[in-house]
Amino acid sequence: MPVAVGADILEEARTIPPAPDRGTSAPESVTLGDCRAALTATGRIGHVVVDPPESRGACPLRVSVVTCAYNEARNIEGFLLSVLNSLQRSFTIQEVICVVSGSTDGTDELVRSWARRDARIRLILQSDRIGKAAALSLGMSAARGEIIVVENADTVPLPESLERLTSTFQDPAVQLACSHPVPVPTRPGWTGRIGTTLWEVHDLVSRRMPKAGEAFALRAPPVLIPWDVEDDDTYVGICAGLRAGRSVYVPEAIILNRAPETAREYFRQRFRVNSNILQLWQRRRLRSSTWQARYVVPALLEAIRARPDRLPGLLGLTVSELLVRAAALLASRLRRTSRETWAPIESTKVAILRTVPTRHPE
């Protein structure tokens, strides 16, 4: 039967009781209403109104949501709650496939508990952590929907975001639709400002070349990912874009994430991302749009023109990114083999949407 707990918070800013401490000094409970209000106040988003689908007579699209999770116990319940209760006009969620790989924090038990209450949730358990590409390929190959939405387990879609994303597929020419990741406000500090600026530039790049990232949707059948692919998002995005059809970017499909709050975590995360992008280019000659000057330079210039006061942050972002990319390039020259898995990064990020702890049936 459908999940009932906390459904009303998707339309109202009601406080959800905090989950028990999982070893992280988390702030007070957060609701989607709180996130929307904070982002609107900072000018990051305006009021989003969902237009009805153009073709009212069309049958709703059947959608499979696929997520890969490794030690996401503090995030997975908020993710499932927000996805299952998303506004659905042009589509219906047929299933939510959670591929849990080698987790040691009880992520698999939380997913099992939710699956007992909602038959749409499917758990695929990998005993070993062998890389996100392998997990994602496994999840997408099990999907039965017409449209497959892929989203990271540590993110949260706004209530109307999946509707915005999937409604684009009413146009039969669309093969890939990319979302707009927006970091929720972080604690004051240099790292938070740089992280926020990074995602603003990503938005401007995506408006020139749609880029699969935190969440994207593609038409079935899915793109098959070799298990040794380092940068799965870029690989899927490029391969889907090569199909007969077109790729689109949907700025209104806002996906909430969190930026790192310490310089150590930020640089380690960016090193990993850029290393994977670089390996994808070196081994398969597939290049991310964020590594192409024809997209990045105009995006930076547009950001400066729109907000001259952000110039120091953009300069800081540019310098830090150049340093990280130089380090990634040097490491790739010294390393002879690819890396499908990385050692986990100790994260300062906390759950975006906190939920009542799940009680497991006796």
| pLDDT beyond 70 at 1 | no
At 159, list the tokens.
């209530």
| pLDDT beyond 60 at 189 | yes
| pLDDT beyond 50 at 321 | yes
Q: How confident is the model at residue 343 (pLDDT cuts 50, 70, 90)?
A: low
**Lowest-confidence pick of 119-128, 142-151, 179-188, 334-343:** 334-343
CB atoms within 10 A of CB 95: 19
- For the range 307-312, what are the long-range contacts, defined as Cβ-Cβ under 8 Å and sequence gap of 24 or more? 310/197
C-alpha–C-alpha distance, residues 165 and 180, integer Å: 10
Sign of the dihedral defined by the CA atoms of residues 165, 168, 170, 173, in that order? negative
CATH of 14-19+27-260, one of 3.40.50.300, 3.90.550.10, 1.20.58.1180, 3.40.50.1820: 3.90.550.10
Instruction: Domain ranges for the chain, please list them.
Output: 14-19+27-260
Region for residue 138 given its phi and psi (left: phi exceeds 0; alpha: psi -120 to 50; beta: otherwise): alpha
Q: With H, G, I as helix, E, B as strand and everything else as coil, classify residue 204.
A: helix
Q: With H, G, I as helix, E, B as strand and everything else as coil, classify residue 122.
A: strand
pLDDT computed for residue 145 by the predictor:
95
Residue-wise pLDDT tens digits, 25-77? 434 456 666 666 666 665 555 544 445 445 455 688 999 999 999 989 989 99
Among 28, 38, 54, 61, smallest CA distance to 254 is for 38
At 142, list the tokens.
């099990």
Q: What percent of the chain has pLDDT over 70?
A: 76
pLDDT computed for residue 258 by the predictor:
86
203, 209, 215, 218 alpha-carbon torsion, rounded to 10° = 160
Q: How confident is the model at residue 179 (pLDDT cuts 50, 70, 90)?
A: very high
Q: Which DSSP letter does residue 299 get? A: H
CB atoms within 10 A of CB 40: 13
Q: How confident is the model at residue 223 (pLDDT cuts 50, 70, 90)?
A: confident
313, 263, 282, 332 alpha-carbon torsion, rounded to 10° = 140
Residue-wise pLDDT tens digits, 98-132? 999 888 889 999 999 999 999 999 999 988 877 88
Beta bridge partners of 246: 174
C-alpha–C-alpha distance, residues 207 and 196, integer Å: 17
Residue-wise pLDDT tens digits, 237-281? 888 777 767 889 999 999 999 888 888 888 998 998 999 899 888
Task: Collect all residues with Cβ–Cβ distance below 8 Å to 217 and sequence separation of at least 6.
Answer: 63, 147, 148, 149, 150, 165, 166, 168, 169, 176, 177
* Mean pLDDT in residue range 6-11: 34
**Cβ(262)–Cβ(358) under 8 Å?**
no
pLDDT computed for residue 314 by the predictor:
92
**Cβ(191)–Cβ(44) under 8 Å?**
no
**Cβ(178)–Cβ(237) under 8 Å?**
yes
